[in-house]
Structure 1
Amino acid sequence: MSDQIPFHIQEDIIKRLPVKPLLQFRSVSKAWKSLIDSSGFIAAHSALHTHPQHLLVKYEDLVENEDKYVSFIDDDTLLQQRFVPFVPLSVKSLRHSKIVGSDQGLLCLYGYHWGPGETTSVGFGVCPVANDPKIVEITQLRFWVDKESETTKPWKVKVYTLSSGKWRNVSTNLPNRSIRVRWLQVVIDRFIYWCAFHKSTTHTRNLIMSFDITDENFRVVDLPDSLAEHSQTELSVCKLRESLAMLQYSIDIGKHVCVVWMMEHGVQRLFTKLFSISSPHGSMTILGFRKSGQPIIEVKDDLSELSDLAVYEPNSEVEMNDLEICGRSNLFSVNSYMETLLLLV
């Protein structure tokens, strides 16, 4: 673009372009690269464009015994528009990798290294104020390591920010040491949420732990008694239409049942039961939701290591719409993403 055109007019023109051309135009000049990489430009570009949502499925192929990825466009053509995304070598080299979560088009993957005396929970989200991706890592002692001192051992919390490229310790405003945080997380707005439980000598009560990405404070979200007293291994958190949802699993008269609850407008202890899903033939896990609100479910064959992926459509002739993906049980994940200018460089 001619140097005779004022730079603010150049900016107004290029911010109307899609993501892929903008990534290429970063090499035009230092000024353009600096502009396109800036948080202000990224925010302005996001406000102008509505990017289609994609669903990234990660699973382990039983034949090749390796992780596979498939991406779908989350619209009415879900089954017709699928493709295999390019997976960088840095991702393939991760041992026992898990997708921690996704936020604003970015995915965070974690290579798991088992520590015999500790448990680690990880959260990921993008600070909405600075457009700065953050990772929070929580390390706690396992219960059987030192039962007498487990409630006196503090949490170890570290936060990584992409802008600094460094980890730093967080030692203030940490939760009660008797609260244990589980692995699965979800990010909504500026909060990361995990299922957690408070363990005392006589009682265990479920709760939700939140982490504010902006001010880096932890907070406890109390649950209604029906969820707080439920078996801790049969609860998980999820995002449904930009709201926090709880998934409650149980077995009722031989059927595997999942009840979906949604927190009302961020009000603690106020959860509304939305619907329930039952499976008479095998166990199931809700891995996520489409933007329409339809659950994406791993349907397990309890007599083998196989699972299939399906979309639950209660008002259709076939309630379980098979996505034609088969893999090893309990190793599926589904995350939503979109094109973004938030660059990992």
Structure 2
Amino acid sequence: MSERVPEDLQLDILVRLSVKSLLRFQCVSKSLMSLISRTGFISMHIKHNESTNNYARIFYGILSPITDTDDTINFRYILNQFDDSFSEIQQFDFPSQTRHEFDEVLVCRGLLLITIGIVLSDVEPFFLWNPALRMSVTLPRPCFGVLYPTYHIVHGFGYDHISNDYKVLRMMYTYIYSSGIPYRAEMFKLSTGPWETLGVNDDFHSTKLERNLGQVFMNGANHWVGRTNKFRGSWSMEKC
């Protein structure tokens, strides 16, 4: 059938389907599988859903109790309608087990960045997870660890429309203004792999970001609340 239907018409039909329905085509046809796996189609599907879905959903995790025989921390995530009914849509099991609690969960365009918050020899500190596709990626270890006891770490997660790529930003700073210790920053690009060290604008060194308030990704840049009279925390994903 796909050979008789023009590709543009196929795209117009497929882009309207749910992710669950699209996954069924993985075993139907190699040509359809190739079509829905393209980066361009994935972006098109996300944009279509963003423009047509005007309802809110809430995605939250439940921690299972730790027993005497099992000391792993198991998370079960639940997707609910965010309305008066609060009806459950679907449940998801996190694809990895760990003995350490999660530090942050950042969301961008259907992907979740989950950080452990510490870097130990037996801990993988970063996960990228797509609950809809049941797929996850463990990110490689960052370039640098916590060098000083007074260091804080903030993370940013966003999507670069220019390069069509997801990016993870990791910044480390000390909360002591007079320390003279500069910011350190690195970035992970999903398309290219390893962490890259970044330069930090001089204005950033006088800013202390409020990491407990999280980040907001908007208009291609990460935004944080910072304590300074000179600068407001913002980092463009499109210039890195």
What amino acid maps onto 2:103 in structure 1? K
How far residue 172 of structure 1 moved from its aligned partner, in angstroms, is 5.2
Q: Which residue of 2 aligns with 1:139?
A: 172
Mapped partners of 2:204, 2:219: distance in 1? 24
What amino acid maps onto 1:188 in structure 2? M
Q: Which residue of 1 aligns with 2:142?
A: none
How far residue 173 of structure 1 moved from its aligned partner, in angstroms, is 3.5
Mapped partners of 2:236, 2:3: distance in 1? 43
Query: What TM-score do the two structures reach when normalised by structure 2?
Result: 0.69
Mapped partners of 2:78, 2:4: distance in 1? 46
Within a 5 Å distance, the mapping from 1:270-289 to structure 2 comes to none
Contact 1:126 1:133 in 2 (8 A): yes
Contact 2:203 2:230 in 1 (8 A): no
> Which of the numbers 176, 189, 205 marks the counterpart of 2:219?
189
How far residue 12 of structure 1 moved from its aligned partner, in angstroms, is 3.0
Within a 5 Å distance, the mapping from 1:310-325 to structure 2 comes to none
Cα 1:76–1:127 shift into 2, 3 Å: farther
> Which of the numbers 79, 84, 107 marks the counterpart of 1:71?
79
Q: Which residue of 2 aligns with 1:108?
A: 113
Contact 1:94 1:111 in 2 (8 A): no
Q: Which residue of 1 aligns with 2:98?
A: 93
Q: Which residue of 1 aligns with 2:198?
A: 170
Contact 1:99 1:107 in 2 (8 A): no
> Which of the numbers 169, 180, 183 marks the counterpart of 2:208?
180
Please list every run of 5 or more consecutive structure 2 residues that lacks an aligned counterpart in the other structure: 120-145
What amino acid maps onto 1:77 in structure 2? S
- Which of the pair has more CA radius of gyration? 1
Mapped partners of 1:68, 1:45: distance in 2? 26
What amino acid maps onto 1:120 in structure 2? I
What amino acid maps onto 1:119 in structure 2? H
Mapped partners of 2:237, 2:99: distance in 1? 26
RMSD over aligned Cα atoms: 3.1
Mapped partners of 1:22, 1:59: distance in 2? 28
Higher relative helix content: 2
How far residue 137 of structure 1 moved from its aligned partner, in angstroms, is 0.1
Higher relative contact order (CA 8 A, sep 6+): 1
Mapped partners of 2:16, 2:192: distance in 1? 29
Percent of aligned pairs sharing the same letter: 25
How far residue 140 of structure 1 moved from its aligned partner, in angstroms, is 1.7
How far residue 210 of structure 1 moved from its aligned partner, in angstroms, is 1.0
Mapped partners of 2:94, 2:190: distance in 1? 19
What amino acid maps onto 1:134 in structure 2? K
What amino acid maps onto 2:166 in structure 1? P
Q: Which residue of 1 aligns with 2:24?
A: 24
How far residue 111 of structure 1 moved from its aligned partner, in angstroms, is 0.7
| Matched residue SS, 1:33 | helix
| Matched residue SS, 1:134 | strand
How far residue 211 of structure 1 moved from its aligned partner, in angstroms, is 1.2
How far residue 48 of structure 1 moved from its aligned partner, in angstroms, is 3.5
Cα 1:24–1:164 shift into 2, 3 Å: farther
Q: Which residue of 2 aligns with 1:11?
A: 11
How far residue 136 of structure 1 moved from its aligned partner, in angstroms, is 0.3
Please list every run of 5 or more consecutive structure 1 residues that lacks an aligned counterpart in the other structure: 199-204, 217-345
Q: Which residue of 2 aligns with 1:212?
A: 236
Q: Residue deviations 1:35-54, cap 9 Å, x none?
A: 32334323332344434432
How far residue 55 of structure 1 moved from its aligned partner, in angstroms, is 0.7
Contact 2:108 2:159 in 1 (8 A): yes
Mapped partners of 2:76, 2:13: distance in 1? 39
Mapped partners of 2:210, 2:40: distance in 1? 35
